[in-house]
Structure 1
């Protein structure tokens, strides 16, 4: 399934919105795959291991899918869905070479994978730096290592100390330089996008510029050529199986099984785009359905707020409570600057309760222990 205009011209430059839509499709699919694995991991514990290496699993999966798509249509999975293909800058060669396909698939996976790892490493150590605990875990680990080796060999101890210092220094420099590196990379990407949008450039990403490729639309001629090449390749595979079978009865049986398996692979190859997109749409539909059902159940089962807990009983030797609740139990005057004791909930004048708790360290009504930290000032709306 691809959004191809059969009357299109391969010389026509794809629009900026087509390019961006193709670039943003794979990150959306990755989010859906991770969410699906996290849901099923609650039932199947072995999926937790995949979630621990989600970047590596997704990178391997996308490399296989993109390599197959590049081999068939000279476009990655997302680009093929939007009727796009990769082409030489000089347009002298109709198809990409195997080297260019391998380079395209590798960069298509390696760049997002490296970016994801770099962001996680920066967030980990940047958060520690904000809390004033930067690289504390590394320092503790180095200290433990040094203490274990101190009695064994002083030279080894010195080496471990130097390695720990180098590691902390490198991570510290990385945390400081990452925002600038990220800003430079984003600036370069923005420059390519603006140049592509305004017309001077045919390349919208530095990776394509490095490979000497640019994006173009798939035309009807391209579809006919790819269909013919696919049919010829499959016919040659079937012919080789028929020739290898020979006249032996047992070999004919093996050949029949091999042909059935090959036909199944061809069927999956032809329809894997449709199956993947239908799976994504079905997943989003199920997610919407269950979220709506949970919201309806939550509305119908809303519980009333629980009643407030009963106030603690006044102590026999306490100051007692006045009949008018607006009066302070200590000075028996109107609470002009009210404050509450958190341990008991009773309200007093702030100066009265401050002096009493400083002297007695307890609530004057209930005698529940309290400190100055338990005084809460109250403000009227």
Structure 2
């Protein structure tokens, strides 16, 4: 049984077809990079909301831009994505001996950069709809509410079908029934193979040619050189820090955080500073019961876990949904940080 498993999951030495372990490892690399960078930006935004707050709010777009520069550089230079090149793999157009050309190149770039961005946005949209469903933000009889319910009911089955399609492709790849371990590679019209000595020599020659071509001082050459420099800097930094990023992913995983919390107790947070009475509200006797946003007596008291300030639920919900920060302190805040307060007489 073990010999059969080894035969299935490994390829002959003279075969350029990568093993299932190699293709899964290169996919998990980029999956580990995003949450690690996301946590770094979150720490920076919490330390200085005024300076680094926009990085937190526009993280998805900024990460996609960096990913575009990174993947474009590696597809043009090595004929592979960053993670594929890191594991010594390359993309080859199906039925062609040359590297990526024309439509295969643009399909690969779109599926590597645009598809993950759309998937992240879809996940956030679904999470927002679930929160609105849980807290009954929308009118239950409205057409929009019925559409939300239909989307929420069908999304788990769509996601199951999506993940199941990838699983089927991986099983077929293990059993040598297909040359694609992912349906995205089939859509792009490419397949993965191992890098050869000739490929490495061609990459070195391309690097030298690019350096000599960029010695001119034209505007196009300067711009191309600047973009190439940014791509090389990002790729080099990721190559050097890939193991550190994977360590961060493990360190901030849910399982490890539970262990850390069980071994240490968090200090009690300090009380928030008092509001400025000149700009806050003239109703000084009712100051403790007034919402800082609507300036009325609070309804459905809700605290923000990041700052401790209390608002009306609707005021806090829509403000955090639109601005992703506390309206008083400016700390980065998400909808999951809303804490509804219930009084014994409420």
Question: Does TM, normalized by the shorter one, top 0.5?
Answer: yes
Q: Normalization by structure 1: what TM-score? A: 0.56
**Structure 1 gap segments, 5+ residues each:** 1-7, 141-163, 245-253, 303-372, 374-381
8 A Cα contact 2:36 2:248, kept in partner: no
Task: Find 2:210's aligned residue among 204, 212, 233.
Answer: 233
Residue of structure 2 equivalent to 1:139: 139
8 A Cα contact 1:104 1:211, kept in partner: yes
Task: Find 2:34's aligned residue among 19, 25, 30.
Answer: 30
Q: Tell me which moved more, 213-222 or 278-287.
A: 278-287
Alignment of 1:1-381 (within 5 A): 11-45=15-49, 46-90=51-95, 92-129=96-133, 131=134, 133=135, 136-139=136-139, 165-238=142-215, 240-241=216-217, 272-281=234-243
Per-residue CA deviation, residues 122-157 of structure 1 (Å, 9 max, x unaligned), is 23323444x4x4xx32339xxxxxxxxxxxxxxxxx
Question: Hey, what's the Cα distance between the residues in 2 that align with 1:123 and 1:262?
Answer: 40
**Structure 2 gap segments, 5+ residues each:** 1-12, 268-343
Cα drift, residue 61 of structure 1: 1.6
Cα drift, residue 120 of structure 1: 2.4
8 A Cα contact 1:196 1:203, kept in partner: yes
Change (3 A) 1:301 1:183: closer
Larger Rg: 1
Residue of structure 1 equivalent to 2:282: none
SS state at 2:198 partner: helix
Question: Hey, what's the Cα distance between the residues in 2 that align with 1:83 and 1:122?
Answer: 37
8 A Cα contact 1:203 1:214, kept in partner: yes
Change (3 A) 1:96 1:181: same
Question: Hey, what's the Cα distance between the residues in 2 that align with 1:211 and 1:274?
Answer: 26
8 A Cα contact 1:67 1:102, kept in partner: no
SS state at 2:90 partner: strand
Change (3 A) 1:301 1:112: closer
Residue of structure 2 equivalent to 1:348: none
Question: Hey, what's the Cα distance between the residues in 2 that align with 1:204 and 1:20?
Answer: 9
Q: How many residues align?
A: 247
Q: Normalization by structure 2: what TM-score? A: 0.61
Change (3 A) 1:220 1:121: same
Question: Hey, what's the Cα distance between the residues in 1 that align with 2:62 and 2:234?
Answer: 19
Change (3 A) 1:269 1:177: closer
Cα drift, residue 285 of structure 1: 7.3
